[in-house]
Structures are given as structure tokens and as C-alpha cells.
């Protein structure tokens, strides 16, 4: 039975709301800070605060059935002998084996390959299931070096040097209950002991060392593979410029809404800047260095959910986007059919974020053999491919409505903002005006 609290004259405090009170009670009970998965849950300025103008007298739309609107993207042609060609501008973000089950990693590879895009390893190395099922696989080179293997660098189609993540520019956790024998073996770690992901690379102290690292990776891979650099959105203008100067082919920019497998809640909600605010400064850096849309590509992630988000990120200057949380949901994460089991864990379908504790009823963020076996990698891969197709079709529909024959031709001019904040952050006019706060 639900009680209508307002009818009883009870008023919830905006400052001390129920979630805040529960947080204080949990901290007082346990004496430890909260660690969880998922990304920032508070409301932040986001793509929903932008709208497309669509066609009008001064623009004419393309016709859906007869006029083509292309979606392909090439990544890494600046220096690599073998650049990446993707059919769609949506990629699967790096998520670790360890955080995710082997079946989930395989499903990500299958879904991405079927939809004509890439998937990415994570903090924990490359699994044969993932390599085997991924037509295009990006291999992450992380501060922790967990699972790092020079042979795997050569097996990958591109290398992504990770400097940070939107959810945690500065380090995360893999809790002991997920460090099974296989995970421990790949990372050369003791079984069952909590692991803190390293917050910085052990062999460098500044941007000059990134230049050396990129050169080293190019040598190992015979200058064949594109080198990406992933940054968590905090100072995107400077970080993008430094990554380009160091020789990156692709910059991956992850906003603070970006998902995680296990990070301190205080970090997820209070460190970094929103995806919407991060794109503009990164694009500005690329433009000033003369490489935007020509030499260096920008992949944006952090809260991408639908084709409108994809189209808006491209219009603001991204070449492609990456998805993490949405891909897991497409595989079957938070599925209502496991409602009873989520309830037993003190959660509910649509709210489950305990990716760190290894008891995921959907068999995705777990290493438990019985739970992982629930996820059929073939069926889950097909669901992901469907979802990726929908994202692409939606972005295409919007691009056509704006009169574009390629999704990458979307531009800031196609957008307006609903709020003063989002207008200032995205650098587009407030709807119905020509006013861009801070610029005009
Ligand atoms: C379960 C999970 C595991 C992740 N593991 C990694 C990782 O190993 N390395 C990394 O760079 N990012 C990792 N991330 C972050 C993603 O690569 C990506 O930046 C983020 O999920 C994008 O935001 P979105 O989830 O809102 O799409 C992980 C995210 C999730 C949800």
C-alpha cells in the first residue's frame, strides 16, 4: 500500500531528501563510503536541453526513402596505416572483463559486429570470446596495466590509452567478490581481494610522457593501428590539445554522466563536468589546431541514450559517440523479468546499480557462473544490434530533417537550447533568440 505523504501534510526537504537521509544513515551504520556502478544520477544539463530546428523556408529536408543520408565514419587515418572504418557513428565503450561477465563481453562483440561498429576491451585485458566475436576491437591501455599484453596490442584493431573516465577522473574499484580465478589470472592479482584501479600511469609524470608512450605503441604495432586517447571531462580544452600534440589519432571524451562499474558515489556525483559542457571546448581545441573533422576524430560519451543524443553530439562537433550503460540495458540489464530478484537485493528493475558486488540477476555485471549462464550471448548480441540500428535510424531521420546527406554534416547551427545554462555550455542560441550567453 502506498501512502500519499503530501495528503498527510508531510513535506519532504529539498536539501535533506529521502536519498540523502538514507546516505547519512548508511554512512553512520557502516563507517565506509558508498561504492556503486552506473553514472551520475542527479539532474544535469544534458542533450535533452537542446532541440533541432529542422527544415524551414531557408533549409529543405531530404526525403526519407529516396535521398541518402550516410552514417559511416573513418577513425585514425592521421597516422595509422590501417584506419578504422565503421558503418555507424556509435561505438561500444570500454568495459572490463571482471566488471562484466565473459558472456556479456561476447554479446557486446557480437552486437557491435552485426551493426558494423567497434567494441572496446577494458581494465582487465582481452578475452578470446571478445576478440573472436568482435570484427573491430579497440584495446585499452590503462593506468593499472591489468591484463596488459603486448601480443594483445597487436591483435587489436586500435589502441585506446586511457587517462581518465568521466565517472572517475582519478581511479575506481573492483571489489574482491568479483576477482575470480580467471579474472585474477588475467590481471596477476590475488583472488578475492578488493582492487583499486590505478589513478595514473606508473611510467609517466606529464604530457611529454604521453608522446613517448604513443610512439612506443606505434612501434609495437608497426604504425598500423590508430591510437586513441581517452580523457574524463574536466579540462577538455587543454587535455584535447595536449592529446593532439602528443600524437593521438582519436580523442575519446567521457562526460561526468559516464557509467562505471564501481566508483565512490561522491566521485560519480561531484567530480568532472557534464558531457554537454565538455564537447565545445574539445572541439575548439581541435579547430585551433586545424584538425577538427580532418585529422583527429572526437568520440564523445557519457549519457548517450537515443538517436537524438547521437545527432546532437555530432552536431556539436563529435565524429562518433560511445555507449556503455545503454549497451548494458540493451543486453538485458535491469530487466523487469528479474523484478523479484532485484527486490531480494534491496533494489528494483530500473534502479539496480550495484555492478560492483557481482550478484547481478541478469548475468551481466557478475563473475558467478550460474548467474552469467543466464545471459545468452547470441540473443543478447542481437538485442544490442537492434538497439544500435535504432540509434542510427533515429540520428539519420533527424539529419534528413535538417537537410543533411551525411550525419556528420549536422552542425551547431541546427540546434537551439531550452535553458540559459545549456545555451552557454553548448554554445548555441537560446530558442527563439539569437543569444548565446557569454558569446553574443
Ligand atoms: C560496467 C562498466 C565498466 C566500465 N569499465 C571501464 C573500463 O574498464 N575502462 C574505461 O575506460 N571505462 C570503463 N567504463 C566507462 C565506459 O567506457 C564509458 O566511458 C561510459 O560508460 C560512457 O557513459 P555511458 O555509460 O553513459 O554510456 C565502464 C562503464 C561501465 C558501465
The number of distinct structural domains making up the chain is 1
Cα 166 to ligand 1 centre (Å): 9
Let me know if residue 431 belongs to a domain: no
Whether ligand 1 lies within 6 angstroms of the CB of 254 is answered as yes
At 170 the pLDDT is 63
Q: Which residues share a beta bridge with 251? A: 229, 298
Cα 87 to ligand 1 centre (Å): 22
CA separation for the pair 34, 429 (Å, rounded): 39
Let me know if residue 320 belongs to a domain: yes
Whether ligand 1 lies within 6 angstroms of the CB of 89 is answered as no
Whether ligand 1 lies within 6 angstroms of the CB of 260 is answered as yes
Let me know if residue 278 belongs to a domain: yes
Which residue among 100, 126, 187, 324 has the greatest number of ligand 1 atoms within 8 angstroms of its CB, and so is best to mutate? 324
Residue showing cell 583472488 = 191
CA separation for the pair 193, 340 (Å, rounded): 30
**Contact, 282 vs 53, CB < 8 A?**
no
Cα angle for residues 188, 189, 190 (degrees, 5° grid): 135
Q: Which residues does 311 contact at the CB level (< 8 Å), separation at least 6?
A: 52, 394, 395, 398, 399, 407, 410
Let me know if residue 140 belongs to a domain: yes
CA separation for the pair 317, 285 (Å, rounded): 11
Cα 279 to ligand 1 centre (Å): 18
Q: Which atom of ligand 1 is nearest to the CA of 365?
A: 1
Let me know if residue 81 belongs to a domain: yes
Range of the domain at 114: 35-426
Atom 5 of ligand 1, residue of closest alpha carbon: 95
CA separation for the pair 133, 135 (Å, rounded): 6
Whether ligand 1 lies within 6 angstroms of the CB of 95 is answered as yes
pLDDT in tens, the chain (440 residues): 567 888 899 999 999 999 999 999 999 999 988 999 999 999 999 999 999 999 888 888 998 878 999 999 999 999 999 999 999 999 999 999 989 999 999 999 999 999 999 999 998 889 998 999 999 999 999 988 878 888 999 999 999 999 999 998 765 555 666 677 877 777 777 777 676 667 788 888 888 999 999 999 999 999 999 999 999 999 999 999 999 999 999 999 999 999 999 998 999 999 999 999 999 999 999 999 999 999 999 999 999 999 999 999 999 999 999 999 999 999 999 999 999 999 999 999 999 999 999 999 999 999 999 999 999 999 999 999 999 999 999 999 999 999 999 999 999 999 999 999 999 999 999 999 999 999 87
Whether ligand 1 lies within 6 angstroms of the CB of 268 is answered as no
CA separation for the pair 245, 129 (Å, rounded): 35
**Contact, 217 vs 263, CB < 8 A?**
no
Burial class of 226 by CB neighbour count within 10 A (0 to 12, 13 to 18, 19+): buried
Q: Which residues share a beta bridge with 158? A: 138
Show the cell assigned to 2: 502506498
Q: How far is CA 217 from the centre of its chain?
A: 23
Let me know if residue 296 belongs to a domain: yes
CA separation for the pair 260, 395 (Å, rounded): 25
Atom 29 of ligand 1, residue of closest alpha carbon: 260
Cα 54 to ligand 1 centre (Å): 32
Read off the pTM: 0.95
Q: Which atom of ligand 1 is nearest to the CA of 258?
A: 23
Question: Where does 15-133 show beta strands of DSSP type E?
Answer: 35-36, 50-52, 73-75, 84-86, 90-92, 118-120
Let me know if residue 373 belongs to a domain: yes
Whether ligand 1 lies within 6 angstroms of the CB of 125 is answered as no
Cα 93 to ligand 1 centre (Å): 6
Whether ligand 1 lies within 6 angstroms of the CB of 160 is answered as no
CA separation for the pair 102, 98 (Å, rounded): 8
Let me know if residue 397 belongs to a domain: yes
- Element holding 231 (H helix, E strand): strand 227-232
CA separation for the pair 140, 148 (Å, rounded): 9
Whether ligand 1 lies within 6 angstroms of the CB of 259 is answered as yes
CATH of the domain at 110: 3.20.20.70
Amino acid at each position: 500500500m502506498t501512502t500519499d505523504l503530501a495528503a498527510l501534510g508531510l513535506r519532504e526537504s529539498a536539501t535533506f531528501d529521502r536519498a540523502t537521509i538514507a546516505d547519512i544513515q548508511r554512512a553512520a551504520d557502516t563507517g565506509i563510503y558508498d561504492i556503486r556502478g552506473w553514472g551520475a544520477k542527479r539532474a544535469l544539463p544534458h542533450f535533452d536541453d537542446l532541440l533541432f530546428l529542422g527544415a524551414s523556408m531557408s533549409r529543405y529536408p531530404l526525403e526519407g526513402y529516396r535521398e541518402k543520408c550516410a552514417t559511416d565514419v573513418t577513425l585514425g587515418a592521421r597516422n595509422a596505416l590501417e584506419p578504422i572504418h565503421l558503418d555507424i557513428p556509435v561505438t561500444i565503450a570500454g568495459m572490463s572483463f571482471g566488471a562484466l561477465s565473459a558472456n556479456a563481453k561476447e554479446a557486446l562483440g557480437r552486437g557491435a559486429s552485426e551493426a558494423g561498429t567497434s567494441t572496446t576491451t577494458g581494465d582487465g585485458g582481452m578475452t578470446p570470446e571478445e576478440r573472436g566475436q568482435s570484427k573491430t576491437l579497440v584495446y585499452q591501455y590503462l593506468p593499472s596495466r591489468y591484463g596488459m599484453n603486448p601480443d594483445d596490442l597487436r591483435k587489436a584493431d586500435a589502441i585506446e590509452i586511457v587517462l581518465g573516465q568521466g565517472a572517475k577522473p582519478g581511479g575506481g574499484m573492483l571489489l574482491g567478490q568479483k576477482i575470480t580465478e580467471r579474472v585474477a589470472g588475467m590481471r596477476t592479482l590475488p583472488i578475492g581481494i578488493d582492487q583499486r584501479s590505478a589513478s595514473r600511469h606508473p611510467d609517466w609524470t606529464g604530457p611529454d610522457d604521453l608522446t613517448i608512450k604513443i610512439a612506443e605503441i606505434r612501434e609495437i604495432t608497426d604504425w598500423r593501428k590508430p591510437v586513441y586517447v581517452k580523457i574524463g571531462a574536466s579540462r577538455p580544452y587543454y587535455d584535447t590539445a595536449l592529446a593532439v600534440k602528443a600524437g593521438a589519432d582519436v580523442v575519446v571524451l567521457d562526460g561526468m554522466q559516464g557509467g562505471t562499474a564501481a566508483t565512490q558515489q561522491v566521485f560519480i556525483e561531484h567530480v568532472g563536468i557534464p558531457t554537454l559542457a565538455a564537447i565545445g571546448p574539445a572541439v575548439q581545441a581541435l579547430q585551433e589546431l586545424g584538425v577538427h573533422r580532418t585529422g583527429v576524430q572526437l568520440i564523445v560519451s557519457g549519457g548517450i541514450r537515443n538517436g537524438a543524443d547521437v545527432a546532437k553530439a555530432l552536431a556539436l562537433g563529435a565524429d562518433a559517440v560511445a555507449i556503455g550503460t545503454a549497451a548494458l540495458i540493451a543486453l538485458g540489464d535491469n530487466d523487469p523479468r528479474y523484478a523479484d530478484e532485484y527486490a531480494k537485493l534491496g533494489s528494483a528493475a530500473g534502479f539496480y546499480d550495484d555492478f560492483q558486488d557481482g550478484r547481478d540477476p541478469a548475468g551481466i555485471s557478475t563473475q558467478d557462473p550460474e548467474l552469467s549462464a543466464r545471459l545468452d550471448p547470441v540473443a543478447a548480441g542481437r538485442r544490442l544490434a537492434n538497439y544500435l540500428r535504432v540509434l542510427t535510424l533515429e540520428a539519420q531521420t533527424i539529419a534528413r530533417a535538417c537537410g543533411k546527406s551525411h550525419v556528420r554534416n549536422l552542425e551547431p547551427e541546427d540546434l537551439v537550447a531550452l535553458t540559459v545554462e545549456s545555451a552557454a555550455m553548448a554554445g548555441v542560441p537560446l530558442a527563439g533568440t539569437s543569444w548565446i550567453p557569454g558569446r553574443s
